[in-house]
């Protein structure tokens, strides 16, 4: 009976947690168009001044399921992750390898795998998720460190983008030789 109660609670937590997130961030779905999802993720990231975390994997991937369970057990950590990133899951499976989408990304060694992009879609980092393992399980400490590093990086990136948007290019200045 206790095991059934725990299973029902985890299932409920999954639905409650997923209810406030876009569909592209909930599951590895071979029927989803990664390019369309990426455009929506970029729009969300730009609107909310976040980075995009592409999470590549699939339902076949044991460690992908372990990662989802890790998120469920560490809801506060997952919330902190979502404060920094718009998460988009990209299916990689026999049903849909997403070859065309993945051709725009660096090579992946193992799954799940993270790519981090700015809100303009530029890949700024590749992260092997197995590096978050400690003694065969995902480590809260290592994930927290990852989130903290990217939270600070995001503040810097947003500051640079704001400064770029406010600045004039030299060629726009009146009287410059290129403006004649």
| Residue in 95, 93, 94, 96 with CA at minimum distance from that of residue 112 | 93
- Assess contact for 126 and 115: CB atoms under 8 A: yes
- The count of domains in the chain is 1
pLDDT digits (tens, 9 = 90+) for 39-90: 999 999 999 999 999 999 999 999 999 999 999 999 999 999 999 999 999 9
Q: Give me the percent of the chain exceeding a pLDDT of 90.
A: 76
| pLDDT exceeds 50 at position 5 | no
pLDDT for 78: 96
Confidence class of residue 19 from pLDDT cuts 50, 70 and 90? low
Beta carbons within 8 Å of 67's beta carbon, 6+ residues apart:
55, 57, 112, 129, 138
Per cent of the chain over pLDDT 70 is 82
Residue 17 lies in a domain: no
Indicate if the pLDDT at residue 139 is higher than 60. yes
Distances (CA, A) of 171 to 163, 167, 168: 17, 12, 8
Q: Does residue 144 lie within any of the structural domains?
A: yes
Please indicate, yes or no, if residue 165 is contained in any of the structural domains.
no
- Asked if the model's pLDDT at residue 35 lies above 90, the reply is yes
Q: What digits encode the pLDDT tens for the residues 90-133?
A: 999 999 999 999 999 999 999 999 999 999 999 999 999 999 99
DSSP 78-140: HHHHHHHEEEEEEE-BTTB--HHHHTTS---SSSSEEEEE-TT--EEEEEEGGGGEETTEE-H
Is residue 28 situated within a structural domain?
A: yes
Quote the pLDDT of residue 6.
44
Q: In terms of residue numbers, what domain contains 112?
A: 22-157
The CATH number linked to 101 is 3.40.30.10
**pTM, rounded to two decimals:** 0.82
Any domain includes 98: yes
Residue 172 counted as domain residue: no
pLDDT at 9 over 50: no
Q: 64 with 57: CB under 8 angstroms? A: yes
């Amino acid at each position: 009976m206790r095991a059934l109660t725990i299973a029902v609670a985890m299932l409920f937590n999954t639905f409650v947690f997923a209810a406030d997130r876009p569909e592209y961030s909930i599951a590895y779905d071979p029927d989803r168009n990664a390019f369309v999802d990426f455009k929506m993720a970029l729009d969300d990231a730009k609107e909310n001044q976040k980075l995009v975390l592409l999470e590549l994997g699939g339902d076949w991937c044991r460690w992908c399921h372990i990662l989802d369970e890790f998120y469920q057990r560490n809801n506060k950590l997952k919330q902190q992750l979502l404060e920094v990133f718009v998460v988009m899951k990209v299916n990689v499976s026999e049903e849909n390898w997403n070859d065309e989408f993945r051709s725009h990304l660096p090579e992946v060694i193992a799954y799940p795998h993270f790519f981090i992009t700015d809100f303009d879609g530029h890949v700024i980092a590749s992260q092997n998720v197995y590096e978050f393992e400690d003694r065969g399980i995902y480590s809260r400490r290592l994930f927290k460190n990852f989130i903290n590093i990217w939270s600070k990086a995001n503040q810097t990136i947003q500051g640079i983008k704001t400064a770029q948007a406010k600045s004039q290019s030299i060629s726009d200045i009146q009287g410059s030789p290129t403006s004649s």
